[in-house]
Amino acid sequence: MDRAAYIASFALEALLVEAAATPKPGLVDRANCGAHADMDFFTFQISAAAIAPFLPVFVRTGIEHTTDAPALLTSLRRVGLEAERAMFARTGGVNTHKGAIFSFGVLLGAAGLALRRGKKCTAECVLDLVQEICAGICRRHFDGLDACAPETKGDAAYLACGATGARGTAEAGFPLVRRIALPLYRALMDQGLPMNDALVDVLVTLITLNDDTNILSRHHLGVLHEVQATARRAEALGGMAAPEGRAAILQMDEDFIRKWISPGGSADLLAVTYFLYALERADG
């Protein structure tokens, strides 16, 4: 199999697996639509199919890149915009995967760059290269924002409380994934926890720590802190492996839906976690 297509297949797998993990508080899953009125589980499957052809292009873009790593971002952005257009065309204008397109664009580009440099696609290598590719992205984007007229919800969240969202996460090399989520997922899988339950537990842990701009786009900072505290309580009760923890996560789902809270940024980090885990196992 073509190496770019092989690596990209793990990104598609990650998108599908993340969507299927259930229950995901406030998020679309197999049980319900979460805190969303314009999408469901099938919307995510359709969206993933729409962007699938672009995933190997991200890898090839990295493989073919011949100048410094930050210059690669411009080429990846062009591919990402095409993927966004395909997504919106297939979903009728619904934004299912815009954040994931950005995250997987830089991750797959980094994997391609690793191949060009003759390196193995370990999580550490890929994340280090993501940092190289995204160096300075926050300064370039956020400096000079018009405080009176932010263009996006992410810009508004930055102006309100300094949250840098997906750009800041990528520029820092996905630190929550590298230090917390990926080691936790490895450990849970080694313990024999069912994949679905391991994914949900990792999501809950991510929610406790992530300054999620998807939440901040709908709510103020106090709500984010309440969400994080609620997730910590579910985590302390044992998560999906314990009856009390599972009940707490199901209650989180009910509460988040009622309060219109959607931790979509944490869902993207969950998909990234699974991608790196699957890629590393295959390339190891």
96: Cβ contacts below 8 Å, ≥ 6 apart: 39, 43, 44, 47, 87
65: phi then psi, degrees, rounded to nearest 5? -75, 130
pLDDT for 149 beyond 70: no
- pLDDT digits over 165-211, tens only? 999 999 999 999 999 999 999 999 999 999 999 999 999 999 999 99
Average pLDDT over residues 209-215: 96
Per-residue model confidence (pLDDT) at position 40 = 98
Mean pLDDT on 244-264: 98
pLDDT greater at residue 22 or residue 152: 22
* Domain housing 167: 3-283
Mean pLDDT, the chain, integer: 96
Residue 155's pLDDT band, with cuts at 50, 70 and 90, is confident
Average pLDDT rounded to a whole number, residues 54-63: 99
Number of domains, the chain? 1
| Residue with the larger pLDDT of the pair 282 and 256 | 256
Identify whether the C-beta of residue 213 lies closer than 8 Å to the C-beta of residue 154. Answer: yes
The band of 145, judged by pLDDT with boundaries at 50, 70 and 90, is confident
Are 86 and 51 spatial neighbours (Cβ–Cβ below 8 Å)?
A: yes
Closest CA to 250 of 26, 35, 18: 26
pLDDT of residue 143: 87
How many beta carbons lie within 10 A of that of residue 49, not counting itself?
15
The structure tokens 């009856």 sit at 243
Task: Output the CA–CA distances (angstroms, integers) from residue 5 to 27, 52, 53, 198, 283, in the order listed.
Answer: 29, 10, 9, 27, 14
- Nearest residue to 36 via CA among 260, 231, 284: 260
CA angle 85, 86, 91 (to 5 degrees): 100
153 pLDDT band, cuts 50/70/90, is confident
Q: Is the pLDDT at 284 greater than 70, yes or no?
A: no
Residue whose tokens read 């998909």: 271
What share of the chain in percent tops pLDDT 90?
A: 90
Indicate if the pLDDT at residue 1 is higher than 80: no
Percent of the chain, pLDDT > 70? 98
Could you tell me if 266 and 25 are in contact, meaning their C-beta atoms sit under 8 angstroms apart?
A: no
Q: Which residues contact 253 (CB under 8 A, 6 or more apart)?
A: 23, 24, 25, 26, 31, 32, 34
Distance CA 173, CA 130 (A): 6
Q: Is the pLDDT of residue 44 over 60?
A: yes
Task: Indicate whether 214 pLDDT > 90.
Answer: yes
Q: Rounded distance, CA 15 to CA 26, Å?
A: 17
Position 156 pLDDT exceeds 90: no
Q: pLDDT tens-digit profile of 65-98?
A: 999 999 999 999 999 999 999 999 999 999 999 9
Q: Round the CA-based radius of gyration of the chain to a whole number and report it.
A: 18
What's the CATH number where 102 sits? 1.10.4200.10
